[in-house]
Structure 1
Amino acid sequence: MSKWPILIFAALLAVSCKKAFEPKDALTNTNRYLVIEGAINTGPDSTFITLSRTKKYGPGIQIDRETNAQLIVESDANNTYSLYEVRPGVYSAAPLNLNDAHKYRLHIKTADGKEYLSDYVIVKNSPPIDSVGFSQETDGVHIYVNTHDDASSTKYYRWEYTETWQFQSFFKSYMLGDEPRHVCYATDTSTAILLANSNKLSSDLIYQAPIAFIPGTSEKIEARYTIIVKQYALTADAYDFWLGLQKNTDRLGSIFDAQPSVNQSNFYCVTDPHEFVVGYLSAGRAATKRIFISASQLLSSYQVKYPVGCKLDSAFYYHEPFYTDPKVLGPEAGTIPIEPFYIAPLGPFGAPNFITYSTTTCVDCTIRGKTEPPPYWR
């Protein structure tokens, strides 16, 4: 789930239509802005658009998914293409394979009857990603991307990524039968706004643009890790929007920073022209590239640390199935048995005398991941 609507709303709370900075006003702002994420994919990949609204809720910020909306891609040739809600607030269309010579816009009608339109945008296709690489520094693994455009027609770039890694539980249980809970796979998506431009360079070349960082203590590099990077080509206006948003989210938190602002969106509310809308629509084909990194490729000095503290305890065994007191061992206590120990004389029916155990988080990796590897794992 994308987290940047929270950052957007935090920036908006710090801005009050050119009013002087007033923290009290910012904290009581309750506007629910429509946030539109995604781009029209004109090629052989599906299009995904996410709608949400942000609002101040108690001490924090709450994201509400905008459900049951109607979304239509419209071309300047009067062709229309519908998107359908595939999960709350997420709308998708199968590959559209649109004509790059035309312009496109997004038409949104929310469940409350409000209508929103974007400006028509040109198709801006990304050049291929030359490579995704990594460097090993003392603090961890730094991942970067290289790309270029021989036609010098791109200039402005944005990236997103999805990462997946294999990890293990701290303890392996020998008392769970055939149910594997020791080795799992976890996936996460980027939340940072990643941009670069070659506008002032003699060639349209991006060299080692930083994408992600993995600390040398992270379990992401415990066994095997993969990252797939998606690259978008932007127009100058779209780049300015994302750059303004990047500056806002990077600089919030100090009154001595530059006053935040949000660049003009290319969306507007047809029903209420004064309503603020957050988002910027782009259209085109994205480029992707995936790499895998194994622990054997990395510095031996990296010392992976389990994300929570784990300790081994033991308990006397009195009765079935595997625990003595449910307040000490079992689901009620949030613990899992690990290994039985047999010391003569044995317990009833040859049962062990005592067993070791630990907390569920330290024994069951499915708390934080899935045991089934993703289809792209090889």
Structure 2
Amino acid sequence: MRSIYSHSSLNLRAASTNVGASLLCCALLSMSGCIESFEPKEGSTTPPSLLVVDGFLNSQGVTTIKLTRSLGLKAKTAPAAEAKAKLFVEEENGLRYTLFETTAGTYNSARLSLNPAKRYRLHFTTANNRAYATDYTRAKITPAVDEVHWLVEGDRVVVQVSAHDETNQTQYYRWDAEETWEFTSAYRSKLEALPGGGLIPREVSIYRCWGTQPGGLIKTFTTTKLSQDVVADFPLLTLASSSVKLRYKYSVLVKQYAQTVEEFAYWEALRKNTENIGTLFDPLPSQLTGNVHCLTDPSEQVLGYIGAYSVQEQRLFISRDQLPASWKSDTGYETCAKPDTIPKAYVHVSFLTPDYLPLEDVDKGVTAQYAKCVDCRLRGTNIQPSFWK
């Protein structure tokens, strides 16, 4: 999941202190606009480094929990991992399952099969001996995804999902999606530079790659106001006709989760905080209250919500030949200029850094271009995903 927690209590919204100026500003909004962004001075605020708990208790599979520390609004580094903690999945008045640290701050369990009739929680202790636990929650079984499909609406593609629960036990649904797409760089490099300045035929292609956008989508729906526990053609995401993702082939892995009413409310608040903030009339960001608590110091704020449920998945593919022929997709390399031509006498000194790459031999020398326009690995991977077809 993206790092979306730092906004919750650390967001700042500027407000005018001059009432008269505010009224005048609102009156003139449609004419010129008078909202100015507020930039806090360096050192004026030091946001607390809060513990962030990300993941869920997988009732029918491997549980993965990530522990990190929150960042300030201007931070340019990755969140610091909370390493060397001791984590357990605990059954109320019952068994305890250990999670093992696989990489710094990431903890995995063995494959679990939790009893839907019982309640579970996450309990852990950090390296500095501070204890934390979530509220106990009943393990839910997520119904299967009936169908993930797509359709063309005007100049966009809409991906939709359908599901149902014949037992009427789910009612609260959440979805995430992991997108993958095939793309090519602006220019194909047929040559590779040696450390001494010579050129050889390139053996590994850096022209065709696959980009991935990890999960981070927040889509929720409840059937409590319907006569049946049925989700029909719920819109998950849209893609513009010009999207680079649709240039060759696109795939999306949809993940479906059954939620409790409490967790559903948490994700709804988080969705509104991340999607609806941006204009004068949008609601102010709400304070997110998760279900993770510090047992050592109950006053400590912890970010995250850990539920217990299984996950259901379904993958969808869209090929370019399935889309309207009139659509023109972006390449993602629109700013790349035409290649240079390096005279033969200067070839041996022209490719001494990886930022500038040879393309192919021509009569007058060798064509060349900057790596950002040639090496697709700078935007993805040139290893085809195992699920690609």
- TM-score of the superposed pair, with normalisation by structure 1: 0.87
Q: Is the 8 A contact 1:52 1:65 kept in 2?
A: yes
From 92, 104, 109, the equivalent of 1:76 is: 92
Q: Is the 8 A contact 1:168 1:184 kept in 2?
A: yes
Q: Is the 8 A contact 2:188 2:207 kept in 1?
A: yes
Tell which deviates more after alignment, 47-56 or 209-218: 209-218
The percent of aligned pairs where both chains have the same amino acid is: 32
CA deviation string 1:60-94 (max 9, x = no partner): 68622222211100111421111112222221112
From 83, 87, 111, the equivalent of 2:103 is: 87
* 1:316 and 2:327 are equivalent in the alignment: no
Partner of 1:38: 55
Distance 1:147 1:354 in 2: 60
Q: Is the 8 A contact 1:125 1:285 kept in 2?
A: yes
Partner of 2:320: 295
Q: 1:333 to 1:53 in 2, by over 3 A?
A: closer
Partner of 1:163: 179
Distance 1:57 1:224 in 2: 36
Q: Secondary structure at the match of 1:95?
A: strand
CA deviation string 1:185-230 (max 9, x = no partner): 2222132321111111111111222222222222222221211111
Letter in 1 for 2:56: A
Shift of 1:47: 1.1
Partner of 2:147: 131
Partner of 2:276: 251
From 222, 238, 241, the equivalent of 1:213 is: 238
May I ask how many residue pairs the two structures share in their alignment? Answer: 355
Shift of 1:305: 1.7
Letter in 1 for 2:228: S
Q: Is the 8 A contact 1:240 1:263 kept in 2?
A: no
* 1:106 and 2:106 are equivalent in the alignment: no
Q: Secondary structure at the match of 1:56?
A: coil
Question: Aligned-residue CA RMSD in angstroms?
Answer: 2.5
Distance 2:12 2:188 in 1: 51
Q: 1:362 to 1:91 in 2, by over 3 A?
A: same
* 1:13-24 equivalences in 2 (<5 Å): 13-14=10-11
Shift of 1:274: 0.5
Q: Secondary structure at the match of 2:65?
A: strand
Q: Is the 8 A contact 2:182 2:248 kept in 1?
A: yes
Q: Is the 8 A contact 1:11 1:249 kept in 2?
A: no
Shift of 1:58: 4.9
Distance 2:70 2:171 in 1: 32
Q: Secondary structure at the match of 1:304?
A: coil
Q: Is the 8 A contact 2:11 2:73 kept in 1?
A: no
Shift of 1:293: 1.2
Q: Is the 8 A contact 2:7 2:73 kept in 1?
A: no
Distance 2:12 2:341 in 1: 56
Distance 1:259 1:121 in 2: 30
* 1:269-288 equivalences in 2 (<5 Å): 269-288=294-313
Q: Is the 8 A contact 2:354 2:371 kept in 1?
A: no
Q: 1:185 to 1:58 in 2, by over 3 A?
A: closer
Give ranges in structure 1 of 5+ residues lacking alignment: 343-352
Q: Is the 8 A contact 2:259 2:309 kept in 1?
A: no
Q: Is the 8 A contact 2:10 2:47 kept in 1?
A: no
Partner of 2:9: 12
Shift of 1:147: 0.9
Distance 2:376 2:187 in 1: 9
Q: 1:58 to 1:248 in 2, by over 3 A?
A: closer
Partner of 1:350: none
- TM-score of the superposed pair, with normalisation by structure 2: 0.84
Partner of 2:359: 338
Distance 2:212 2:97 in 1: 31
Give ranges in structure 2 of 5+ residues lacking alignment: 18-37, 193-200
Partner of 1:187: 212
Letter in 2 for 1:30: P
Q: Secondary structure at the match of 2:325?
A: coil
Tell which deviates more after alignment, 168-177 or 256-265: 256-265
Q: Is the 8 A contact 2:8 2:288 kept in 1?
A: no
Tell which deviates more after alignment, 131-140 or 226-235: 131-140
Distance 1:54 1:145 in 2: 33
Q: 1:21 to 1:152 in 2, by over 3 A?
A: farther
Distance 2:382 2:12 in 1: 45
Distance 1:57 1:12 in 2: 11
Q: Secondary structure at the match of 1:357?
A: strand
Distance 2:232 2:138 in 1: 26
Letter in 2 for 1:8: Y
Distance 1:250 1:57 in 2: 17
CA deviation string 1:79-126 (max 9, x = no partner): 111111222222111211222222110001111211110111101111
Q: 1:27 to 1:105 in 2, by over 3 A?
A: farther
Q: Is the 8 A contact 2:168 2:229 kept in 1?
A: yes
Q: Is the 8 A contact 2:68 2:80 kept in 1?
A: yes
Q: Is the 8 A contact 1:316 1:324 kept in 2?
A: no
Letter in 2 for 1:31: P
